[in-house]
Amino acid sequence: MEKSVLDLRRLYRLPWSLADNAISWLEPTSACNLSCDGCYRKNEANSHKTVEEVTRELSIFRKMRNSDGISIAGGDPLLHPDITEIVSIISKMGFKPVINTNGILLSRELLRELKKAGTVGFTIHIDSKQGRPGWKGKNELELNELRLRYAEMLAEAGGMSCAFNSTVYDDTVSYTPDLVEWAGKHMDIVQVMVFILYRAATPQLNFNWYANGRKIGLEELQYSENNGRRIDLQSPEVVAKIRERFPEFTPCAFLNGTEKPDSFKWLLTGRIGYKDRVLGYVGPKHMESIQAMHHLLKGRYLAYCKPSYTAMGKTMLLLSPLDPRLRVISGRFLTSLLANPLKLFKNLYYQSIMIIQPVDFMENGAQNMCDGCPDVTVWNDKLVWSCRLEELKQFGCWVHSVPRVENNVNV
Ligand code: SF4
């Protein structure tokens, strides 16, 4: 797909910023029970933060950032012995706790406890390069069986949203239409699908790297690699791949890059349908109305919401006068009623599909970050990008690229 086909003027620019954002990112631990290929966090066994440290980070968020939800990530947060208490603290502070996990430790009993503590939803990371016990060698399509197990488990517990994350590589991007298709058959129990495009710090011929005035080797970083894999997959490529099977697939909103306003760093597509059939894709005015209304009524921008809200697809159609694409969905809904009037009593569900294009390395050595990054975390009482936290942990500052000069002055 040419970039021009994805025209930013036809998309709603999500209003999220550093100080006012739908989400913030909390890491109570860096420990993990998997070793995923594309992970950007160093797995440290004894890295659990104390409840006091976590509470302090939450108070920094409260002071510096108006936030609706807190993504509790890591590492795997379910490894933290006080995870239920942490969820409860987050909930009592007025944030929506959302747990990002690989799901391995998620039992029905723990799920009940976490729900009682106030968990609003789960984002479960499943992809084919996790080396997941019992699922090694399975491709993305085969892993849908595992995704369905978790979606059904969450639906059985009730009241919490179910999202799936997967890292997308050059050799797995062809599966994205399969995942979009699978999610479309489970609109009632899968609220969000997230595709995170693989990134790594890879040495560039024309640049040296410095931290605190010292030249460093990129291989010192957790997220470095030099084995020739593509680290520059772009969101429009994924959209083009999905459109080969679903020509109607059309994003409605985005976050741009800090260096490139026409890069689509967070690219959001929303769709409405019966529990097993997509009726159509919402347009930018729908998303603009939802974000503006939520901010007007609740004082915060919206990201995660409970299934009782996403099941209100029919109510969302009331916004049809504002949004031409919603009018198309309304037309199809009415046609389906003519064929079978009993469908009036069926729910329509809303589902999001997000494509995240993390750090882009620019030709001039700059890094194109997400403008209005939702995954900002706390480090030393400051708000920082979680995707580059290892630089701070290792060197105490961001790593900078410096162009090599021909006479080797800089080398
Ligand atoms: S800047 Fe990094 S941490 Fe923030 S949203 Fe983008 S990829 Fe995520």
Band of pLDDT at residue 3, cut at 50, 70 and 90: very low
Exposed/middle/buried for residue 7 (C-beta within 10 Å: 0-12, 13-18, 19+)? exposed
Query: How much distance in Å is there from the Cα of 388 to the middle of ligand 1?
Result: 8
pTM, 2 dp: 0.96
Name which residue sits closest to atom 7 of ligand 1, judged by CA: 358
Whether the pLDDT of residue 52 is over 90: the answer is: yes
Mean pLDDT of 94-116: 98
Secondary structure (3-state) at 86: helix
Q: Residue 2: what pLDDT?
A: 45
Query: How much distance in Å is there from the Cα of 369 to the middle of ligand 1?
Result: 6
Mean pLDDT of 394-401: 94
Query: How much distance in Å is there from the Cα of 197 to the middle of ligand 1?
Result: 11
Pocket probe for ligand 1: among 369, 371, 377, 378, the residue whose CB has the most ligand atoms within 8 Å is 369
Whether the pLDDT of residue 97 is over 80: the answer is: yes
Q: Who lines ligand 1 at CB under 6 A?
A: 265, 358-359, 369-370, 373-375, 385-387
Query: How much distance in Å is there from the Cα of 371 to the middle of ligand 1?
Result: 9
Query: Which ligand 1 atom sits nearest the alpha carbon of residue 369?
Result: 1
pLDDT in tens, 378-397: 999 999 999 999 999 999 99
Residue with the bigger pLDDT between 88 and 229: it is 88
Whether the pLDDT of residue 4 is over 80: the answer is: no
Query: How much distance in Å is there from the Cα of 375 to the middle of ligand 1?
Result: 6
Of 38-42, 85-89, 220-224, give the lowest mean pLDDT range. Answer: 220-224
pLDDT in tens, 238-262: 999 999 999 999 999 999 999 999 9
Q: Residue 406: what pLDDT?
A: 57
Mean pLDDT of 42-59: 97
Query: How much distance in Å is there from the Cα of 303 to the middle of ligand 1?
Result: 15
Contact status, residue 221 vs residue 391, Cβ threshold 8 Å: yes
Name which residue sits closest to atom 2 of ligand 1, judged by CA: 387
Two structure tokens written together for 217: 């080797």
Secondary structure (3-state) at 129: coil
pLDDT in tens, 14-45: 999 999 999 999 999 999 999 999 999 999 99
Whether the pLDDT of residue 374 is over 70: the answer is: yes
Comparing CA positions, the residue from 261, 200, 199, 193 lying closest to residue 234 is 199
Question: Which residue type, as a one-letter code, is found at position 74?
Answer: G
Mean pLDDT of 279-302: 98
Name which residue sits closest to atom 4 of ligand 1, judged by CA: 373
Whether the pLDDT of residue 298 is over 90: the answer is: yes
